């Protein structure tokens, strides 16, 4: 029977597919670390209290990138250059979601609206990350090879999502509610399209590595399209709702170290 667990187990058991999976994940996390680091450095004076939390967010992302690289190293594998069609972060930027890298490479301070845009984009992408890691934690939390990594990253992603909710609500109460809702909706609709395209590309590469029969590949592609159709119709709403999280001040303090991985 084709299931999320059996699919990922197949990817996990093959060195080449595992290397591609970890390389894609490590690249995205490292890119997120750089972006958050630049945003923290360019926070406008009126929002300097946010800088340590943004720095912590970036440090967590960097840590996740090191963890995925360490998982490869543990199996004697080297990272592989990722196909551009699987680069989730860069494709989001291509669609104009989040802050442009050209702006982040500059030394001009960001505006408050830039910070709102960053938080709204992060709220959407962290929703996806939290859900993906929750799925892996459900099936692989006790796995001897990746269980510790899955639990640690999943907990961090939940913290990131909580932080985005709390800070966006603070900005909403300060009068930015309309801009937040508009940016959240735009980000969510773009994200579900990019997620579909990246998922199709990743499954195509995995299928060729693992020699999937045409019927299996078609079934997986149909499932990805079905998820997109649901998200496009109603699922996007879960990505734009805001509520005060149970985890308050989730990104206070330094990032949790991961010496067992990196």
Hey, where are the domains in the chain?
Answer: 4-239
CA 165, CA 120: separation in Å to the nearest integer?
9
CA 19, CA 14: separation in Å to the nearest integer?
8
pLDDT-based confidence at residue 262 (cuts at 50, 70, 90)? very low
pLDDT at 134 over 50: yes
Q: Average pLDDT, whole number, for the chain?
A: 94
What is the average per-residue pLDDT within 147-158?
96
What is the average per-residue pLDDT within 232-238?
96
How far from chain centre, in Å, is Cα 237? 18
What pLDDT is stored for residue 252 in this prediction?
85
What pLDDT is stored for residue 258 in this prediction?
60
In this structure, of 65-79, 94-108, 118-132, 156-170, the range with the lowest mean pLDDT score is 94-108
Share of the chain above pLDDT 90, in %: 90
Q: What is the CATH number of domain 4-239?
A: 1.20.1260.10
What is the average per-residue pLDDT within 131-145?
94
pLDDT-based confidence at residue 257 (cuts at 50, 70, 90)? low
Length of the chain: 262
Query: 205: closest CA among 3, 6, 5, 23?
Result: 23
What is the average per-residue pLDDT within 220-240?
97
What is the average per-residue pLDDT within 33-50?
96
CA 133, CA 140: separation in Å to the nearest integer?
10
In this structure, of 18-32, 98-112, 246-260, the range with the lowest mean pLDDT score is 246-260
If one counts every other C-beta atom within 10 angstroms of the C-beta of residue 39, the result is 25
Share of the chain above pLDDT 70, in %: 96
pLDDT-based confidence at residue 256 (cuts at 50, 70, 90)? low
Coil, helix or strand at residue 188: helix
What pLDDT is stored for residue 2 in this prediction?
74
What is the average per-residue pLDDT within 129-151?
95
pLDDT at 94 over 60: yes
CA 32, CA 132: separation in Å to the nearest integer?
16
Angle at 122 between CA 11 and CA 164, to 5 degrees: 120
CA 227, CA 224: separation in Å to the nearest integer?
5
């Amino acid at each position: 029977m084709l299931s999320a667990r059996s699919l990922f187990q197949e990817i996990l058991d093959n060195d080449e597919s595992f290397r591609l999976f970890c390389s894609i994940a490590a690249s995205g996390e490292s890119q997120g670390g750089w972006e958050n680091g630049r945003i923290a450095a360019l926070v406008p004076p009126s929002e300097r209290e946010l800088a340590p939390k943004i720095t912590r967010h970036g440090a967590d992302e960097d840590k996740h990138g090191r963890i995925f690289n360490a998982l490869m190293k543990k199996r004697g594998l080297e990272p592989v250059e990722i196909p551009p069609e699987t680069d989730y972060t860069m494709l989001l930027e291509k669609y104009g979601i989040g802050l442009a890298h050209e702006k982040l490479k500059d030394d001009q301070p960001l505006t408050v609206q830039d910070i709102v845009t960053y938080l709204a984009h992060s709220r959407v992408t962290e929703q996806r990350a939290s859900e993906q890691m929750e799925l892996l934690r459900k099936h692989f939390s006790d796995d001897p090879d990746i269980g510790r990594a899955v639990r640690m990253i999943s907990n961090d992603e939940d913290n990131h999502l909580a932080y985005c909710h709390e800070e966006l609500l603070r900005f909403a109460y300060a009068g930015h509610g309309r801009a937040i809702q508009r940016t959240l909706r735009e980000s969510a609709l773009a994200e579900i399209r990019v997620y579909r395209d990246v998922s199709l590309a990743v499954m195509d590469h995995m299928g060729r590595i693992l020699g999937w029969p045409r019927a299996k590949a078609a079934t997986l592609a149909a499932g990805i399209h079905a998820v997109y159709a649901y998200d496009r119709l109603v699922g996007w709403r879960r990505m734009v709702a805001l509520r005060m999280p149970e985890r308050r001040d989730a990104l206070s303090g330094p990032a949790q170290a991961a010496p067992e991985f990196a």
